[in-house]
Amino acid sequence: MKNFLSIDNVTDLGGLVEQALQFKQNPFASKDLGKGKTLGLIFMNPSLRTRLSTQQAAYNLGMEVMVMNMNQDGWQLEFEDGSVMDGGTAEHIREAAAVISQYCDIIGIRTFAGLKHQQNDYQELVLNKFVTYAQVPVISLESATLHPLQSLADLVTIQEYQKSHRPKIVLSWAPHPRALPQAVANSFLQWASQWDCELVLTHPPGYELAEEFTEGVQVLNDQELAMKGADFVYTKNWSSYRQYGQVLTQDPSWMITPEKMDLTNNGQFMHCLPLRRNVVASDEVVDNSIVIPQSKNRLFAAQAVLSEILLDAQ
């Protein structure tokens, strides 16, 4: 694996999930693989899980880690080619990405959607500039449209908890007071589409995701109908894709409650976190869920990805 930007960089999904589960059994099995190598983690946006789990994953492989909160600690970056930089931006991505590559063997980058210019976000303008000008492998720590490390951890969790070979997995929209990107939902659909499962997407009208992610997925606007018999209910808010970045409704009737979970096949509630309690899901649902083991698997997902990149570079 050269870069890890989406599921398209994965040649053997089952093998990658299995590798993550093996690291869970023995986190230090490859403790010398990354010896003498440095991981640089560049954050343009806040993070708890991605930052700490990826850092710990690198330590488990013997790597050194440097973390930079670019927006707070770095120079303001320019992404336009040919721009006259006489405004607020002080450093061009061409130099920034090349310079970081002088100090790091792998670069992780988190860059959320701005939710203002759909085309810029869906062309992954910022991530792709980093990939173009970096001289070492790049991993996505969540980009404008995808969150592949999260999705891998989600499938690792589903593999651990599934009771049948072909579970029913429901991705449900839930209310939220702020406009959030579509990245987690897009990415989950991409990865779950390659898993042996019955995949159902449910959201209120107006929250349709980009067609490239929903092709072949059953879509229902009736949340309770969708949740019937589900083995997993993956819940996430996202803002509108068609009315780009807008919050069209905060309808509280879409919150996940114990009564709705009773419709499932003794199903598990999943969420990538952070989660607003009693808005997205009730306390009782969260407290009886697998969100904490799911977050633990972020560590082993990151370790599996870093290990593949390190092995490829040998």
Interacting residue ranges for ligand CP, rule: CB under 6 A: 47-50, 142, 150, 272-274
Assess contact for 103 and 40: CB atoms under 8 A: yes
Hey, is 24 helix, strand or coil? helix
Cα–Cα distance, 299 to 70 (Å, whole number): 23
CB nearer ligand CP, residue 150 or residue 182: 150
CB nearer ligand CP, residue 30 or residue 295: 295
- Least gap, CB of 54 to ligand CP (angstroms): 9
CB nearer ligand CP, residue 29 or residue 273: 273
- Least gap, CB of 204 to ligand CP (angstroms): 23
CB atoms within 10 A of CB 98: 14
- Least gap, CB of 87 to ligand CP (angstroms): 30
Assess contact for 147 and 184: CB atoms under 8 A: yes
Task: Tell the burial category of 314 from Cβ atoms under 10 Å away from its Cβ (0-12, 13-18, 19+).
Answer: exposed
Cα–Cα distance, 47 to 242 (Å, whole number): 27
Type of residue found at 232? F
- Least gap, CB of 273 to ligand CP (angstroms): 5
CB nearer ligand CP, residue 47 or residue 202: 47
CB nearer ligand CP, residue 108 or residue 167: 108
And the tokens for 14?
């089952």
CB nearer ligand CP, residue 223 or residue 297: 297
CB nearer ligand CP, residue 150 or residue 268: 150
- Least gap, CB of 307 to ligand CP (angstroms): 20
Cα–Cα distance, 112 to 31 (Å, whole number): 32
- Least gap, CB of 164 to ligand CP (angstroms): 27
Q: What is the 3-state secondary structure (H, E, C) of 235-259?
A: EECCCCCCCCCCCCCCCHHHCECHH
Question: CA dihedral defined by 253, 256, 262, 265, rounded to 10 degrees?
Answer: 130
Cα–Cα distance, 21 to 170 (Å, whole number): 23
Residue nearest to ligand CP (CB): 50
- Least gap, CB of 161 to ligand CP (angstroms): 18
CB nearer ligand CP, residue 149 or residue 170: 149
Residue 69, beta-bridge partner list = 43
And the tokens for 141?
């720590």
- Least gap, CB of 225 to ligand CP (angstroms): 28
Cα–Cα distance, 118 to 145 (Å, whole number): 10
